Amino acid sequence: MFNEEVAMRHGLRSWVGLALLAAALPATAQETGHYIWGVEGIRAASLPPPGIYYRQYNAFYNAQTLTDRSGNIAPVGFGVSVFANVHRLIYVSKAKILGGNYAADIIVPLVDTHLTIDAVPLRDNRFGLYDVCIEPFILAWHTKRFDAAFALGAWLPVGMYDAGRPASPGKDFFSGMTTLGGTWYIDAPKLWALSVLNRTEFHGKSTSRNVTPGMNTGFEWALSRALPTKEAIWEFGLVGYDQWQLTDDSGAGARVPVDIHDSTHALGGEVSVFVPSAKAVFSLRSLWEYSTTDRSRGNFTNFTVTGMF
């Protein structure tokens, strides 16, 4: 029975991007992409069995440090805090393409951002709709010891945006996103799992600012151990992520020099519990950014509740 319960458990692991950090930092930092690293965790590349799933994310990000192109702390009196309430609907079908189950989803985030930079000086806070993510093409494969996932998605610039308000939720540009990852079950009972998930974003132009952000990529990973009981399945894991900007920002509005590429590296932990009687999963994850370049450096914490229908 444990394998069946684990199969249900897998389905409640999100592996598609969602937007949490909405602060579009002014000239002290480069443009950033839509996807926020750290939203995934244990068994991130495992999709659910066929069905409909709803997940609500409650994510917090807080940083009091901004780093320059060398990774040194910028003495600008920086602070940002973000809360995101995100709603995600997932559909996994029985139809198969290339041996994998076809799936699709949509993510609708509401974001509240507070931003301060004493050196400017700047004080801004905004609440509203962030850009929406759709993934119309997802494939998921499952074997006895391995899961894999591939997806094509897009971030639609429908969020609230005001060029004069740096804490505006929207980004004001389109992004395409590819996803590819796998989960390896180290032991036959699937108690131990190692997952790696890659995402790459390709960005369009912000017409209001005449800037096209550079392409970025990265990996989220997790090593976890499940502890089943009579009433629930607990799972504990070490989680982290590493992301890099690959190409220069471009356009007349891009900051000079344009070859400054941002990066972020983080490490943390996660605990989650699947309650079969409630058909629900509760998960708490927290990560600390220990190294950043041309980005804020802080803590990201995410509490999720997922239901199956």
DSSP H/E element including 7: helix 2-10
CATH, domain range 2-308: 2.40.128.130
**Confidence (pLDDT) at 276:** 92
**Confidence (pLDDT) at 36:** 83
- Report which residue type is found at 160: M
Among the listed residues 247, 265, 289, the one whose alpha carbon sits nearest the alpha carbon of residue 31: 247
Distance CA 7, CA 3 (A): 6
Residue 88: how many CB atoms within 10 A of its CB? 20
Distance CA 68, CA 71 (A): 5
Please give the model's pTM, rounded to 2 decimal places: 0.86
| β-sheet bridge partners, residue 200 | 178, 217
pLDDT tens-digit readout, 193-206: 999 999 999 999 99
What does pLDDT average to in each consecutive run of 10 residues of the chain (309 residues)?
A: 33 28 37 85 92 94 93 92 95 97 97 93 94 97 96 96 89 96 96 97 92 94 96 96 93 81 96 93 96 95 92
Among the listed residues 265, 266, 259, 258, the one whose alpha carbon sits nearest the alpha carbon of residue 244: 265
pLDDT tens-digit readout, 224-268: 999 999 999 999 999 999 999 999 998 888 877 778 899 999 999
Domain ranges in the chain are 2-308
- Side-chain-side CA neighbours of 212 within 13 Å: the count stands at 11
